[in-house]
Amino acid sequence: MQAAGIYYHTPVLFEESLNGLHIHPSGVYVDVTFGGGGHSRGILQRLGNEGRLFGLDQDADAEANIPADPRFTFVRSNFRYLSNFMRYHRVDAVDGILADLGVSSRHFDDAARGFSFRFNGALDMRMNNRGGQTAADILNTCPEAALSDIFYTFGELKFARRLAAQIVEARSRMPIQTSEELLEVLQPFVHKDKEKKILAQIFQSLRIQTNSEMEVLGALLRQAVSLLKPGGRCVMITYHSLEDRMVKNFFRTGNPQGESIQDIYGNRISPFKPVNNKVITPLATEIATNPRARSAKLRIAEKI
């Protein structure tokens, strides 16, 4: 995607997600992960003169991609505060909410952001680098048991306890500040045949914890229930099993745990009805041109 002269991000499942929103020309929509603006520009192309689009992003880099369009309003914020900003802009209800939960290609390729094990750089990993704990802060201050929980829960790593113990022992000698220093500590746990997968799981778990990603996603889904108009669509693109499971559960049951609530007749009660019972994944042609789309999963639900 080209915006303000900056290569930023190729929107994943572009047509599928926009079709899923079922855009009305005069509707009000929210792209809660504005980023490079690819999905937002697609929404604007389908809106009429009376339509409105709000784009949220907590990353300062996203501001370079704001379209010069009077129908568009940019909100520099984490989407956990979506309801607050909609009230501020005097919007009571919306016709659709879109979230592309992946980290942008630009951030993965920026060593200074610390998202990737492919480059040596400071272990930052914050989506909003204006404040909050970095991944390095977490590695160097979390108690061993808490570190183990992070790796087991968010990385689904069976050796989480041994990994946490190794990190605590290493940081007692010298703080772990860069990806290169972390990779050195991780060597006993990384086998050549599964090297990329294991490193991806470890870095993913640190990123999720640094940005409270699962907590924030749960907050967004709960807000979608109250913000969407009846018949409004919630469109979610996820990139790992933890996100996808939460979205799937919420769309089916109305809660992140997937606990079914029934009425006195045994009918399941949920604020949503899934539009696609089978998850939508990218076509081989999209993956060929954008390999980072390969893990994307799209789920769509309609407010009852």
What is the structure's pLDDT at 47? 98
Local confidence band at 6 (pLDDT 50, 70, 90 cut-offs)? very low
Task: Compute the mean pLDDT over every residue in the chain, rounded to the nearest whole number.
Answer: 94
What average pLDDT does range 145-165 have in this prediction? 97
What's the pLDDT tens digit per position in 257-285? 998 888 888 788 899 999 998 999 999 99
Q: Which helix (H) or strand (E) holds 268?
A: strand 268-269
The two tokens of residue 219 are 């907050």
- Choosing among 3.40.50.300, 1.10.287.990, 3.40.50.150, 3.40.1130.10, the CATH entry for 2-105+213-303 is 3.40.50.150
What's the pLDDT tens digit per position in 93-117? 999 999 999 887 777 888 889 899 9
What is the structure's pLDDT at 7? 42
Q: Answer yes or no: are the C-beta atoms of 71 and 52 closer than 8 Å.
A: yes
What average pLDDT does range 214-235 have in this prediction? 98
List the domain boundaries for the chain: 2-105+213-303, 129-210
Cα separation of 38 and 61, whole Å? 14
Q: Which helix (H) or strand (E) holds 45?
A: helix 38-46
- For the chain, how far is it from start to end, CA to CA, in angstroms? 34
In the β-sheet with 28-31, what is the strand arrangement from edge to edge? 72-75, 52-56, 28-31, 94-100, 228-238, 297-303, 272-274
Residue 124 has pLDDT above 80, yes or no: yes
Return the CATH fold of 129-210: DNA polymerase; domain 1 (1.10.150)
Nearest to 109 by CA among 244, 291, 234: 291
Cα separation of 240 and 155, whole Å? 10
Residue 204 has pLDDT above 50, yes or no: yes
DSSP assignment string, 47-71 = --TT-EEEEE---GGGGGG----TT
User: For residue 32, which amino acid is it?
Assistant: V
Q: Answer yes or no: are the C-beta atoms of 201 and 155 closer than 8 Å.
A: yes
Residue 133 has pLDDT above 60, yes or no: yes
Q: Answer yes or no: are the C-beta atoms of 136 and 124 closer than 8 Å.
A: yes
Q: What percent of the chain has pLDDT over 90?
A: 84
- E strand map for the chain: 2-3, 6-7, 28-31, 52-56, 72-75, 94-100, 228-238, 261-262, 268-269, 272-274, 297-303
Q: Which residues pair with 274 in a beta bridge?
A: 301
What is the structure's pLDDT at 8? 52
What average pLDDT does range 83-94 have in this prediction? 98
Q: Which helix (H) or strand (E) holds 299?
A: strand 297-303
Helix (H, G, I), strand (E, B) or coil at 201: helix
Model-wide pTM > 0.85? yes
What is the structure's pLDDT at 262? 85
What is the structure's pLDDT at 140? 98
What is the structure's pLDDT at 148? 98
CA within 13 Å, CB half, 123: 25
